[in-house]
Chain A
Amino acid sequence: MTVTTQTSPSVVPPGGEEPFLVVDDLTVRFPTEDGLITAVSELSYSVGLGETLGIVGESGSGKSVSSMAVLGLHDARTAQITGSIRVGGTEVIGLGESRMRKLRGNQVSMIFQDALAALHPFYKVGGQLAEAYLVHHPSASKRDARRKAVEMLDRVGIPQPDRRVDDFPHQFSGGMRQRAMIAMGLINDPSLLIADEPTTALDVTVQAQILDLLQDLQREFNSAVIIITHDLGVIAEMADDVLVMYAGRAVEYGPAREILTHPEMPYTWGLLSSVPDVTSDTSARLIPIPGNPPSLLSMPSGCSFHPRCAHRDKVPGDLCTTTVPDLAPGGRGPGHLKRCHLANPDEVYEAEVLPEIAPDVAAGDPGTDVAARPDEES
């Protein structure tokens, strides 16, 4: 996988073609009994064919809401959606229901977290796959659809697909159900696949199988992939670009390797310092983000992360509590955007954060550090 150097995400590179998916200034609001909540605000990103974007954030960060909007899955009567979402050049916001349906499951498909709940318990797995095929291939016969379903089950590595096609979802193991879900998502050869926490409920060896499968399939179909997760490890293994979301906003955006090695936003630092690593130095500290994510009903003023930010004392005045920082390039070039008032995030990270969470990396050159431990690489 190549890491693309990205310019400002919402801008089409001059002379180049527009990426397959462009989300521009997307805002999603829902009325609730306690008032209007803004689940996503002013979100912009893009994903090209053959590329993988990882969206990372915690519950309530808006990461799922934004991708549901790409498929037009929000209730049109209540959700207030503004901005622009272009799929293969087609504007999706405001698109009529029948044209939207032609897109769904066809050009854009989605796989969901809990495959047991996401598959209908009363219909056979094969029938559900065939249904997804038939809806976009109205001229195909039932037999064609079934053959296609068997073929896709085989493709995602389900043993004896011609027999398992007649099983109900509850007769599958957890890993097989997620494979079936992926098979259903890919049955119409979509150009964009959105995977919402595709491995969260799975055991680690099964997760590895599913992630490998997704990567293989992406190479084969050259589709654009969005993988939504809370697990930075999954991001690190899968994503070309990463978008970090907090309280409905993008707070950091750029190439995955760049963001994970030189994060510039204290929330991203917090995510990195909150999870241990299987190979990290045991003198590394596990530093939590204090407090809880904010309620969408009562967003903090200014930077929505400020009530939990341990680096606010480094920003002069009350900028953090009064002004929302722009999502703008920091000190690492135009491809790496961050939403933070800190003037020198890289210095703070290297001098303060890194020595606590990865003392080994902070002590030496990270590149040679890994090479010096070949026993873990084999």
Chain B
Amino acid sequence: MFAYLVKRLLSGVVVVFLVSLSIFLLFWFGPSSPAQPICDRDTSNRCTPERLANFEENLGYNNPWYTEYGTFVKGVFVGREIQFGSTKKFDCPAPCLGYSYRTKTPVFEEMKERMPATFSVALGGAALYLVLGIPIGVAAARRRGTVADKALVSSFLVLSSVPYYLFALLTWLFLTVQWEIPLFAETGYFSFTENPAKWFSGLLLAWIALGIFGCTQYTRYARGSMVEALSEDYIRTAKAKGLAQSKVVYKHGLRAALVPVVTIFGIDFGTLLAGTIFTERIFDIDGIGFWSLQAVNGRDLPVVSATALFSAIVLIFSNLIVDLIYSVLDPRVRLS
């Protein structure tokens, strides 16, 4: 078990390293100079080739890429100093992921600020789609083949074939803009500690959009998994014991059906935590997803690499946690 964890963590470190290196190289060898955006911004779009050369010099883009990548990696562990233009020097303490070209603030600090928003969206949305999706899926599985089941399955299929961004956008347009429902009037992220009610109402619409859309998929997973579980021999055994129907379905059927659903959920939730670009953009939530979108638009290299690294780490951890949960849920699985 311990050896397994160590092995998985080591392989995770390798993956994170490869992700960071490839992002770094993509920008380094990209079509335009990575210093171009910051030069444009700092000179109010009067970036002459001389000024650009100056920025490149200061940012270290004249050094070989491996030297510069080394500097970046070193900064992550011990911190470093960063110079923009010719004048200012910024102190960047460890873990240093660089300074944002756009805002001139340490990337790590900015990321810490945005995490609560993304985590709030992810937790609420995921909770909602699990709470909706699994019971509906189980109910459909128990009534499989009936008219209600068929209607549900086909309507959810239609719903889930709408692109998510369109679905989220329509939710916002109708509930907030068109009908002006007060509860959904002000979407966005507000600190929970400062104003819980505002936090709740600001995120509610995002949760509903994520929850309903996600629930169509989780209904399908739960239904499929449950149909399979209910056709297993051990369900027949449970019935033959004389157990009540509810015990047969929930204690014996659902217990087994949940395992594959949990597996998918772990991966899904990891993706949500890494930032939900559409949700955050549409509902104006200042989280990791929105941030990474801005960074890509502004070619803000340090932020782009930081968000990519963050997704990689979150996904590695969620995979690991899924495997751990799996070994708890299914006694036949031994981690090695």
A–B direct contact (CB < 8 Å):
yes
The answer, among B234, B238, B239, for a CB contact under 8 Å with A121, is: B234
A21 to chain B, nearest CB (A): 16
Mark A78-108 against chain B: 1 for CB-CB distance below 8 A, else 0: 0000000000000000000100011111100
Nearest residue, chain B, Cβ from A185: B240
How many residues of chain B get a CB closer than 8 Å to chain A's CBs?
Answer: 20
Q: Is A349 an interface residue (CB 8 A)?
A: no
The docked-state distance in angstroms from the alpha carbon of A102 to that of B239 is 11
B331 and A168 within 8 A (CB): yes
Interface window among B98-106, B191-199, B241-249, B269-277: B241-249
Quick check: B256 and A121 within 8 Å, CB to CB?
A: yes
A96 to chain B, nearest CB (A): 13
Residue B81 lies at the interface, judged by CB distance under 8 Å to chain A: no
Cβ contacts under 8 Å, B242 to chain A: 101-106, 132, 135-136
* C-alpha spacing A131/B298, complex, angstroms: 63
Residues of B close to A121: CB separation below 8 A: 234, 256, 330-332
Residues 226-242 of B, flagged 1 when their CB comes within 8 A of A and 0 if not, give: 00000011101111111
The reply to whether B240 and A73 form a contact with Cβ atoms under 8 Å apart is yes
Binds B, one of A111-119, A265-273, A335-343: A111-119
Query: What A residues does B89 contact at CB under 8 A?
Result: none
A118 touches B330 (CB 8 A): no
The majority secondary structure among interface residues of chain A is: mixed
Does B80 make an interface contact (CB < 8 A)? no
Contacts of A114 on B, CB cut-off 8 Å? 233
Question: Which single residue of chain A is at the shortest CB-CB distance from B252?
Answer: A120
**Cross-chain contact B329 with A131 (CB below 8 angstroms):** no
**Which listed residue (A105, A122, A123) contacts B241, Cβ 8 A?**
A105
Which partner residue on chain A sits nearest B241 by CB separation? A105
Are A122 and B240 in contact, CB atoms less than 8 angstroms apart?
no
Measured between alpha carbons, how far is A359 from B40 in the docked complex, in Å? 104
* Shortest distance between the CB of B39 and any CB in chain A (Å): 61
Interface size class of chain A, counting residues whose CB lies under 8 Å from the partner chain: 20 to 34
Query: Which residue of A118, A120, A131 is within 8 Å of B256 (Cβ)?
Result: A120
B41 interface residue (CB < 8 Å to A): no
CB distance from A128 to the nearest CB of B (A): 8
B330→A132 contact, CB < 8 A: no
Closest residue on chain A to residue B256 by CB atoms: A122
Cβ of B252: which chain A residues have Cβ within 8 Å of it? 120
* A-chain residues with CB within 8 Å of residue B150 when the two chains form the complex: none
Indicate with 1 or 0, residue by residue over B291-320, a CB within 8 angstroms of chain A CB atoms.
Answer: 000000000000000000000000000000
Beyond A121-B330, A122-B329, A170-B331, is A104–B240 a contact (Cβ under 8 Å)?
yes
Q: Are A118 and B233 in contact (CB under 8 A)?
A: yes
Is B255 an interface residue, CB under 8 A from the partner?
Answer: yes
**Bound CA span A135–B239, Å:** 11
Interface string of A36-74 (1 = CB under 8 A from B): 000000000000000000000000000000000001010
**Given A168-B331, A168-B332; A118-B237 close (CB under 8 Å):** yes
Of listed A105, A119, A136, A184, residue having the most chain B CB within 10 A: A105
- In the complex, whether A28 has a CB less than 8 A from a CB of chain B is no
| Cα–Cα distance between A119 and B241 once the two chains are bound (Å) | 12
Q: Write the A165-183 contact mask toward B (1 if CB under 8 angstroms, else 0).
A: 0001010000000000000
Q: Is B241 touching A104 in the complex (CB atoms < 8 A)?
A: yes
Residues of B near A170 (CB, < 8 A) are 331-332
What chain A residues lie within 8 Å of B256 (beta carbons)?
120-122
**Contacts A104-B242, A105-B242, A135-B242 given; does A119 touch B237 at CB 8 Å:** yes
Whether, in the assembled complex, A109 has its beta carbon less than 8 Å from a beta carbon of chain B, the answer is yes
Instruction: Assess whether A101 is in contact with B237, with CB atoms less than 8 Å apart.
Output: no
> Are B236 and A122 in contact (CB-based, < 8 A)?
no
Do residues A112 and B237 form an inter-chain contact, with CB atoms below 8 A?
Answer: yes
A169 to chain B, nearest CB (A): 9
A120 touches B237 (CB 8 A): yes
Q: List 9 A-B residue pairs with CB atoms under 8 Å apart, sorted by A's residue number.
A: A73-B239, A104-B239, A104-B242, A118-B234, A118-B237, A121-B256, A122-B329, A168-B331, A184-B241
Binding site for A on B (CB under 8 A): 232-234, 236-245, 252, 255-256, 329-332
The 10 closest A-B pairs by CB, nearest first: A104-B242, A105-B242, A117-B233, A105-B241, A120-B234, A118-B233, A132-B241, A168-B331, A101-B242, A118-B237
Residues of A near any B CB (own CB < 8 A): 71, 73, 97, 101-106, 109-110, 112, 114, 117-123, 131-132, 135-136, 168, 170, 184
Given contacts A105-B241, A120-B255, 20 further A-B pairs with CB under 8 A are A73-B236, A101-B242, A101-B243, A102-B242, A104-B241, A104-B242, A105-B240, A105-B243, A109-B241, A110-B240, A112-B236, A118-B233, A118-B234, A120-B237, A121-B234, A121-B256, A121-B332, A123-B255, A131-B241, A132-B241
